[in-house]
Each structure stands twice: as C-alpha cells, then as structure tokens.
Amino acid sequence: MTLPKSIQDNLHFLLAETGSHLGLLKEYLNLPTASIPIRLLDRQGYVENLRLSIHNHCLRELAAGNDEDADPQRFRTVESIATHLERISELCRDAVLQGTHLQDKSLLKVKDYLEMLDRVSNGVELIESALTEKDARQALKIGKVEQRLDQIYQKQLSHGIRSLKKEKRPADRISLILLAHRIEQMGDALLRISEAIISASMGQHFNTERYHALNASIDQLTSADGIGQVQVEKIAETRSGSAINAVTAGSSEGGYDAIFKDGRKRKLKEEKQRLKDWHEIIPGLAPKILSYQKRGESAALLVEHLAGETFEQILLHGSDELLQEAFDHLTQTLKRVWLETRSKKTVSAGYMKQLAKRMEDVYTIHPEFKLPASRIGSARLPSFDQLLEKMEAFESRVKAPFSVYIHGDFNVDNIIYDPGEGRINFIDLHRSRYMDYLQDVTVFMVSNYRLQVFDPRVRRRIVELCRAFYRFAGQFARKTDDESFEIRLALGLIRSFTTSTRFILDKSLSRAMFYRAAYLMEKLLASEAENKPFKTPIQEIFVG
C-alpha cells in the first residue's frame, strides 16, 4: 500500500520508537536501573508528536481528495495503527513505573514476562510489511499475539493470586500482576492493528471473526488459494447490525457470485432456518444457502446472488411496462404462497402490541409526537398513547380467520424481480413465520409510501401501486371469506405508518405518516362506537 512519504516516514519512526520502548522495558525487567524509567518518560512527547503528525497528514489527505483512486480506508488504517502503537508505548512506560513500586526488584525477572514482550516485539516487526503489501495473513499473525498473551497472563494471574496468601510482601505480588496486565493489554492493541490492516486489504472494515468466517465460506465459490482470489464489496448494513457484502470469485465476469452476511448468531441462524422453510414451501423463491459458519456469538451466511432488480429500483427507475410486469408476477407469487400455506388456525398479529413496543424509539426520534391530551372548546382530544391504549382493547376482539406463511419484512427492497426469467425472489427472510397475511400487505404498502422521493411522477406511481395492491389483497379476502379484512388492514397500516417514522428524519413526511396512523385509529374507534361497517379510507390515506 503506497502512502505519501510524510506519512510513511513518520510511521516508520513510530514503529522504531515503539520497538525501542519494548527494548527498554525488557532491559528493565532483566536489570532494573533508575535511568530507564526516566529515559522512557523523556520519550513520551516524541511518540505523541509522531502520532499527531500521522493523524494530521491523514486528515489533510482525506480532505484534499486529490487522488481519484485514493482509498480512504488506507488512511483510516494508518491512523488506527498510529493510535495503537502509541498505546503500546504508553503501556511500556506504565509497566516500568509499576516495576518501580516493587521493593524486591529481583521479582521482575520473570521468564513469562520476557516471552510476552518478545511476542509483542515480533508482532510490531510485522506491521510495516503487512501494511505495505496488504497482507491479511501477516495481519492475522499479528492478531494471534493477543491470544497467546492472554493465555500467559491468565497463568500468571492464577499464580499471583495463589501466592498472595503466603507472600511476605503482598504489595509486590500485586504490582507484578498489574505489570503483567499492562503487557497483556499490548496484545489488545496489536489485535486492533491486525484488524486495521485486514480492513485495508479488504477495502472495508473487517474484524478477525468476519475475516475467518468469510475465508471459510468462500471455499464454496472457488478452489483458488484463499480469500485473495475474491473481491468483496459492501452493499448494505442492516439496522440489527449485520453487514451484507457481495462476493465475486476471481474468475467471475459480469456480476456477483454470492451474498455474504455476518452478524449475531441468533439472527443468522433464524435466517438459515427460514431459508430452508421457504425451499420446502416453494423451491426457488428464496436464495440457496451456500455456506453457514458460526464462531462464538457471531455467525456468517453465504447465499447465492439472485439476478434482477429490487422492486424499489423498478418502481423508482423502471419503465411503466416493467413495473406492471413485476407487479403481476409479485401478486401471482403471493397468491400462490398464500393458497399453498393457508392454515385454518386463526391468528392475531398483535399490531398494536407491536406498535406499543416501538413507541419509545419513535418518541426518541420524534419527541414532538408525544403530546398530552388536550381540549378545543367542548371537544376532548386524546393523546396518541391514549388512542393506542384504546386500540389495544379494540384489537383484542379481532382475529384473522386463517394464517399463511409470510415474509415478515416485506419491504420493497426485499423483493427481487428478474425480467429475463420472469421470476420473483424474496430476500432477508429471518422474520418469516405463519401469521396474518395482512402484515406483509401493510408493510409493503407503507414501504412504498415512505420512500423519500418527491418527484410528482414517481409519487403518482407509488399511489397507483398502493391502490392496486389494496385491490389485489381485497380480491383475495373476498375469495377466502375474510370478513375482518378492512379492520385488520387498517390496524396493520397504523402499525407500519407509525413505526416507520423511526427511520425518517424528514419532518413533513414523518408527520404525514404519524397523522395518518392517528386518523385511522379515530376512524376505527368511531365505527365501533356507531356500530357501522368499517372500510379503510385508502383514497384519503394514500392520495390525500
């Protein structure tokens, strides 16, 4: 990795100075003299200046952006390396100062401590070449130092605790434990440096767990030697913390080969099981699983890349003909899924309970929504929370007459249409389950409405799409004798309109969605009070 000379030189000096700090610490452990702590303290300002100089030069390079091929990740990597090298130097000084507290200096010459420092020194020596060559394997060697230091430290800690009971000078034993802890912390700094270099080689942030998971997964794609033969491109990050990357094998041309997702094991394990469920229900609707790896509380899932465009892309940029074609295939697919998975078991989606759980998050982003009850003349206006409480009681009397297997997160960017094959696919399926089909219907409708696009032509397409989807769902309800369709549709819209405001900072759009939810609440409660049939005011909600 080529760096500007000013950064490269200062980093070289900082690496050399860190090595000198480690050397002085080893020298002190072998032969403690009063001069070494002074020498280390005198060099503190030099280390700080080197780190500051590197940070400032990186900041200027990033701000200038003169090089069109500049990789911001490499400057973030160098900044991280400089920060953690300074930390290692600081720990060297702290360790020496800890040693000065010992009354019996002969206790310092502990073989394990010297072994730990040798490992740290070896790790530091690998940094420059690993960074220059973007060598992830060398970076992994640097990171492995942390594991070995931790093992040695735990051994020393156990020994120190046992010795305290019979030690004549317990303060000395405590100082030795603290000194060992300082050296053990150097391993943490080396691990961060290792991950920074791996991130530079991958072009995006990667920790060691992610790297190992990806390395294990790509065996399904290529027989080539290692991860260096593939390209990884970040395409999304979920709100739950999972990262989504497109993976291309070295020999592949024109498109991706697979999608790599990693994150919390619980979520990815759920998604793996849901993918299997979908393949049993309708083979080919969900992507195939290529690999699943777990490591501690983390996991990684490699699935096939599906050709086509998301429904959102088609809605925003596709022709009218393509949008109609995608819509027809979507409704045909949904009708098939609903009919083939329909169960006679009644179910309640609990839309208002779902909403109540998310109201704190809504108010955090939009505190202006949390208004108290008020009065205008003789009219009393309840607060939103009071309306929600009434709606929870209202919903307790409503159930879907049957359940179907739903997507569970039926946003427009989780639906893919391949016009070449005339095929719909679903992605991001970890929330799939048997539930009221109107949960998917209402999520889909609101995910269209909430798109922050204000071009009049596109807004008209969104409105027409929502109305057409409502007609489709209504036809299905009539054919299946779903008599509470309109009420549950409104309940689902209330839930989705309100919860979606958590992700929208535009005040005009978020207010429009919030007030629509309140309006539907009032309409539902009024229809019950007047004992009149309810019909969802689609025209007012999506057009007005």
- Tell me, what's the pLDDT at 311? 95
Q: How far apart are CA 200 and CA 183, in angstroms?
A: 26
What's the distance, Cα to Cα, between the start and end of the chain in Å? Answer: 56
Q: How far apart are CA 96 and CA 141, in angstroms?
A: 27
Give mean pLDDT, residues 503-511. 92
What CATH topology corresponds to 211-304? Phosphorylase Kinase; domain 1 (3.30.200)
- Tell me, what's the pLDDT at 263? 80
- Residue-wise pLDDT for 118-141, tens only, equals 999 999 999 999 999 888 889 989
Least confident of 83-97, 256-270, 382-396: 256-270
Q: How far apart are CA 449 and CA 493, in angstroms?
A: 11
- Residue-wise pLDDT for 92-117, tens only, equals 999 999 888 888 888 887 888 999 99
- Residue-wise pLDDT for 183-196, tens only, equals 999 999 999 999 88
Distance, C-alpha 183 to centroid of its chain? 32
pLDDT band at 298 (very low <50, low <70, confident <90, very high): confident
Q: How far apart are CA 215 and CA 508, in angstroms?
A: 46
Residue 25 in contact with residue 92, Cβ under 8 Å? yes
- Tell me, what's the pLDDT at 344? 92
Q: Are β-strands 423-426 and 415-418 bridged in parallel, bridged antiparallel, or unpaired?
A: antiparallel
Instruction: Give the H/E segment covering residue 247.
Output: strand 243-249
pLDDT band at 47 (very low <50, low <70, confident <90, very high): very high
Give mean pLDDT, residues 179-207. 87
Residue 536, number of CB atoms within 10 A of its CB: 22
Length of the chain: 544
- Tell me, what's the pLDDT at 276? 94
- Tell me, what's the pLDDT at 2? 76
Q: Could you tell me which residues are beta bridge partners of residue 260?
A: 245, 302
Structure tokens at 240: 């739950």
What CATH topology corresponds to 5-203? Methane Monooxygenase Hydroxylase; Chain G, domain 1 (1.20.58)
- Residue-wise pLDDT for 1-19, tens only, equals 578 899 999 999 999 999 9
Q: Is 250 helix (H, G, I), strand (E, B) or coil?
A: coil
**Nearest in space to 304 (alpha carbons), one of 247, 262, 252:** 247
Dihedral-angle region of residue 406 (phi above 0 means left; psi in -120 to 50 means alpha; beta otherwise) = beta
Residue 403, number of CB atoms within 10 A of its CB: 22
**By percentage, how much of the chain surpasses pLDDT 70?**
91
Least confident of 52-56, 183-187, 288-292, 386-390: 288-292
pLDDT at 458 over 70: yes
- Tell me, what's the pLDDT at 522? 94
Q: How far apart are CA 116 and CA 179, in angstroms?
A: 12
Which of 92-106, 234-248, 347-361, 369-383 has maximum average pLDDT? 347-361
Distance, C-alpha 405 to centroid of its chain? 26
Geometric angle at alpha carbon 56, from 54 and 60, rounded to 5°? 115
Distance, C-alpha 13 to centroid of its chain? 36
121 by Cβ neighbours in 10 Å (0-12 / 13-18 / 19+) ranks as middle
Give mean pLDDT, residues 56-68. 78
pLDDT at 201 over 90: no
Q: State the DSSP code for 255.
A: S
pLDDT at 253 over 60: no
- Tell me, what's the pLDDT at 225? 47
The rounded mean pLDDT for the chain is 88
Give mean pLDDT, residues 25-52. 90
**By percentage, how much of the chain surpasses pLDDT 90?**
59
CATH architecture for the domain at 309-542: Alpha-Beta Complex (3.90)
376 by Cβ neighbours in 10 Å (0-12 / 13-18 / 19+) ranks as exposed
pLDDT band at 224 (very low <50, low <70, confident <90, very high): very low
DSSP secondary structure string, 435-459? E-HHHHHHHHHHHHHT-----HHHH
- Residue-wise pLDDT for 151-162, tens only, equals 999 988 888 888
Give mean pLDDT, residues 240-253. 63
Least confident of 246-250, 336-340, 421-425, 523-527: 246-250
pLDDT band at 228 (very low <50, low <70, confident <90, very high): low
For residues 210 and 360, the model is more confident at 360
Q: Where are the beta strands (DSSP E) in 288-408?
A: 289-295, 298-304, 309-310, 374-376, 379-381, 404-406
Give mean pLDDT, residues 36-58. 91
Residue 276, number of CB atoms within 10 A of its CB: 12
Give mean pLDDT, residues 451-470. 92
Domain positions in the chain: 5-203, 211-304, 309-542
Q: How far apart are CA 278 and CA 70, in angstroms?
A: 43
Longest CA–CA separation in the chain, Å? 93
Q: Is 253 helix (H, G, I), strand (E, B) or coil?
A: coil
**Nearest in space to 131 (alpha carbons), one of 81, 63, 56:** 81
Least confident of 125-134, 350-359, 470-479: 125-134
Give mean pLDDT, residues 54-67. 82
pLDDT at 304 over 90: no
227 by Cβ neighbours in 10 Å (0-12 / 13-18 / 19+) ranks as buried
Residue 240 in contact with residue 263, Cβ under 8 Å? yes
Q: Could you tell me which residues are beta bridge partners of residue 135?
A: none
Distance, C-alpha 94 to centroid of its chain? 36
429 by Cβ neighbours in 10 Å (0-12 / 13-18 / 19+) ranks as buried
Least confident of 72-86, 296-310, 525-539: 296-310
Structure tokens at 94: 């702290």
For residues 81 and 372, the model is more confident at 81
Q: What are phi and psi of 142, to 5 degrees?
A: -60, -45
- Tell me, what's the pLDDT at 237? 57
pTM of the model: 0.75
Q: Helices 351-365 & 384-395, crossing angle to 10 degrees?
A: 160
- Tell me, what's the pLDDT at 470? 97
- Tell me, what's the pLDDT at 277? 94
Q: Helices 35-42 & 5-30, crossing angle to 10 degrees?
A: 170
Q: How far apart are CA 492 and CA 441, in angstroms?
A: 8
Instruction: Give the H/E segment covering residue 418.
Output: strand 415-418
- Tell me, what's the pLDDT at 229? 57
pLDDT at 81 over 80: yes
Q: How far apart are CA 442 and CA 448, in angstroms?
A: 10
- Is it true that 211-304 and 309-542 share their CATH fold? no
